[in-house]
Chain A
Amino acid sequence: MAEIRNYTINFGPQHPAAHGVLRLVLELDGEVVERADPHIGLLHRGTEKLAETRTWLQNVPYMDRLDYVSMMCNEHAYCMAVERLLGIEVPLRAQYIRVMFDEITRILNHLLNIGTHAIDIGAMTMVIYTFREREDLMDVYEAVSGARLHAAYYRPGGVYRDLPDVMPQYEPSKYRNPAKLKALNAARGGSLLDFIEDFTNRFPALVADYHTLLTDNRIWKQRTVDVGVVSPEQAMALGFSGPMLRGSGIEWDLRKKMPYEVYDKVDFDVPVGVNGDCYDRYLVRMEEFLQSNRIIKQCVDWLRKNPGPVISDNHKVAPPSREGMKSNMEELIHHFKLFSEGIHVPPGEVYAGIEHPKGEFGVYLVSDGANKPYRMKLRAPGFAHLSACDAMGKGHMIADIVAIIGTMDIVFGEIDR
């Protein structure tokens, strides 16, 4: 009799559910997965090595390209690390802006995750609904930084500039009737803060819509409950963080445990799951929408009342104002030195980790006192999560592997770096 062999299939790198360029070698017994072996490196761009040849400021845009759905959070970790090496204090207003944009980014990231997770499981409407909201938040990114994705808005010492007083508006088009155009521009009449506030007021109702579409849907539950179960011990052993860890019932959130910026001044709760399955992680993310919304609201309130500088006035680190530069020799020299040679960071080593939407994103920097890092190491949460693919997927069916990849919220920008 012929030898019976398992069916081995190559899941990706060109696969609609591979979330980019994941190559997963699956060993199947019928449809049941015996072994799931993720292969990475197809999006490797050598960010860590590249950083060694770029000035401290030039590295900021590279951070956007790591996890390209939560851009500002990546920048945040990097800027925080540089600031710790420099030993400088960030103005309070900049801290609030950073916290606000971290939470906007968290919503952006979770919107993408929930939407793509749903479409992986076959509910194709969800992704369009979440992208509608992402569009608004992308506009917020654009208003503040000029770029929808790769913002490069956070800088060592603060943020690039203060929040703008106007929101960009939709323009007339022959495919959009005037009434629709007016409705689209309704919230865009005021400042950026007005627009964000309007969004935070609308958003809970939209989250309720998502709940209606998925949370109690029997098929959705059948596809996610008890799929990819991770026990708390296992979750810790596998190096999970973020919603993946909280979904297993461990209350670990860097925003609470090691507060950075102004997270100790804002009020929010940390949702945790019970069973550690895909459904719990989905619920954790859905609740984080509302908690992030709460934080954004508090930041908007504070930012309205407290104008002030948004970047450090230490001109060895942060550029001087344009007017100062044009009227003052010393500031012109600062500007020239900053944008040619760059800042010098005292020798030392530092690690800065933040509660990134996907988990703990950390930047480890070694400086030898030069104008560029001596070594940079990135701790990407997705890498640890993807490594658990085999542990989570063993014994499930192919369709569940797709659900598990969706729940891991992997983005290859950060895994392959």
Chain B
Amino acid sequence: MDALLQPVQQLLGPTLFTLVWTLVKIVVLLAPLMICVAYLTYAERKIIGYMQVRLGPNRVGPKGWLQPIADAVKLMFKEIIIPSGANKGLFILGPVLALGPALAAWAVIPFAPGIVLANVDASVLYVMAIASMGVYGIILAGWSSNSKYAMLGAMRSAAQIISYEVAMGFALVGVLMVSHSLNLVEIVNGQAKGWAASQGLGFLSWNWLPLFPMFMVYLISTVAETNRAPFDVAEGESEIVAGFHVEYGGMAFAVFFLAEYANMILVAALTSLFFLGGWLSPVGFLPDGMLWLVAKAAFILFFFLWFRATFPRYRYDQIMRLGWKVLLPVTLVWLLVLGAWMLSPFSIWK
């Protein structure tokens, strides 16, 4: 690879080369991600369709495979309407702020050993910091629309994200305790050690088993973080119509849509990295690889879709109660248990 790049570097000079090379890497990362987002919407419509005894999209292209493309084209050609009472600048900034963090967080996600855009030491912190930025987009969108429904959606979203970030953060503290690192690659590698892994049963040494309550809390919190059903009160189509993006149309709406799905894929990938061993193979006789990460993320994403097809929506105050009175105490108690376990002679993380 380096030999191939050498002549290009000489041609462009070091500064320009770094810029171009970084841009190329970003495109290589984001282009497949965007395709994944598009086909996640297709998968959602198909899977929920079959759960609801219907067929889902099947008219555009063979088996409906071109449906996401058709949707994208339709949305791109629609006019973007800015309400006359809206704050124009912030109204446009809203969707940008929602999508930006959802994409930026991917910079530190390792797909396999060595395949990572930026192997930062504190990548968990970076992800947490970037992911919590997304809510500003939603709040700005809701506020700048100057619409009552959008305002209610923004308020709900703000309150919800604050409470679930706490539970989510505490759930991650457990992961950090056992892996002694804030680096995602280290966290995954930490899960490859242990008695079960040496017996060829790698999936038993992953974090989900010893940290099961935290895994559950994290999974639920991620659903809430991404504003997906049953926690989709910020959108709440049957209550506040479309919540924060009620005034958005065309591509501006599509950007929110992309952000939601990019976030879903992001948290699914993160859950796989934190708790399901990332790219590690579940059994000894199969090799590790990026495919495992994709499979695990797809597994988590399937849950997201399954939840949406099954559950009624929580009420806004019930979400708060679940976050503060159930999930947070569970994680706090398990943190103590975990701490005691790690100090005791029965610790499995030595």
Contacts and interface: CB of A to CB of B under 8 A. Distances in A.
A122 B238 contact: yes
Given A122-B311, A175-B58, A213-B310, A402 B239 contact: yes
A123 interface: yes
A122 B240 contact: no
A31 interface: yes
Contact of B149 (A9, A219, A222, A397): A9
Interface string A33-76: 00000000000000000000000000000000000000000000
Contacts of B17: none
A333 interface: no
Secondary structure class of chain B's binding surface, majority of residues:
loop
Contact of A128 (B52, B156, B237, B315): B52
A399 interface: yes
A121 interface: yes
B148 A122 contact: no
A310 interface: no
Given A213-B310, A219-B312, A16 B54 contact: no
B52 A121 contact: no
Given A122-B229, A398-B240, A220 B312 contact: yes
Interface in A296-316: none
Contacts of A222: 314-315, 318
A283 interface: no
Interface in A159-189: 175
Do most interface residues of chain A lie in helix, strand or loop, or is the interface mixed?
Answer: helix
A56 B199 CA distance: 85
A217 B312 contact: yes
Contacts of A132: 53
Interface in A356-399: 397-399
Interface string A90-121: 00000000000000000000000000001111
Nearest to A14: B241
B314 A128 contact: no
A201 interface: no
A125 B51 contact: yes
B217 to A, nearest CB: 17
Nearest to B156: A31
B55 interface: yes
Given A175-B55, A399-B233, A399-B236, A125 B241 contact: no
Interface string A147-162: 0000000000000000
For B48, B51, B315, which residue has the most chain A Cβ atoms within 10 angstroms? B315
Given A124-B309, A125-B51, A132-B53, A219 B314 contact: yes
A122 B313 contact: yes
Contact of B238 (A7, A119, A128, A217): A119
Given A125-B52, A132-B53, A399 B312 contact: no
25 contacts: A7-B148, A9-B152, A15-B241, A17-B238, A31-B317, A118-B312, A122-B312, A123-B310, A124-B309, A125-B48, A132-B53, A213-B310, A219-B312, A219-B314, A220-B312, A223-B312, A223-B314, A223-B315, A397-B315, A397-B317, A398-B240, A399-B239, A399-B316, A402-B238, A402-B239
